[in-house]
């Protein structure tokens, strides 16, 4: 029990000293009297976050030419894939044609035309 009391007192003293050190570090002001050095520091404070942000953006953005992880290269010579592609293109073409006919029909009924 005596050790716990002493340890607690030491811990409190250590926390107090740490807080004093933090206060001293963060409240210390060193004026920059040289105008060129002050300008340089201001430029550094302005440009550093921009440069770091740009660097992080370049690191995190994926390369558009590189396929995503887990994506495999598909062999185009497979007849089943060619058939599926042809059916998808036909369905898409039919949907686009129906949308065009619907749009053109609405334009004729409303009296306005894009043509």
User: Could you read off the pLDDT of 69-91 as tens digits, one per residue?
Assistant: 777 766 777 888 889 989 999 99
In angstroms, rounded to a whole number, what is the distance separating the alpha carbons of residues 86 and 104? 27
Higher pLDDT, 73 or 52: 52
Q: Answer for the pair 81, 89: CB distance below 8 angstroms, yes or no.
A: no
Segment 49-74 shows an average pLDDT of 84
Q: Which of 1-10, 67-76, 78-87, 93-102 has the lowest mean pLDDT?
A: 1-10
- pLDDT(115) > 50: no
pLDDT attached to residue 109: 57
Cβ atoms within 10 Å of 103's Cβ, excluding its own: 11
Please report the DSSP string for 30-94 in residue order. -----HHHHHHHHHHHHHHHHHHHHHHHHHHSPPTTSPPTTPPPPPTT-HHHHHHHHHHHHHHHH
The pTM (predicted TM-score) of the whole model is 0.37
In angstroms, rounded to a whole number, what is the distance separating the alpha carbons of residues 98 and 16? 76
- pLDDT(68) > 90: no
């Amino acid at each position: 029990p005596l050790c716990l009391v002493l340890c607690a007192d030491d811990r409190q003293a250590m926390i107090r000293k740490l807080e004093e050190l933090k206060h001293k570090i963060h409240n210390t002001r060193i004026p920059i009297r040289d105008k060129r050095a002050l300008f340089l520091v201001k430029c550094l404070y302005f440009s550093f976050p921009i440069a770091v942000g740009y660097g992080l953006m370049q690191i995190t953005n994926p390369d558009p030419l590189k396929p995503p992880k887990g994506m495999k290269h598909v062999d185009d010579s497979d007849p089943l894939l060619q058939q599926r592609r042809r059916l998808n293109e036909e369905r898409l073409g039919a949907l686009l044609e129906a949308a065009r006919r619907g749009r053109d029909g609405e334009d004729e009924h409303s009296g306005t035309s894009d043509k």
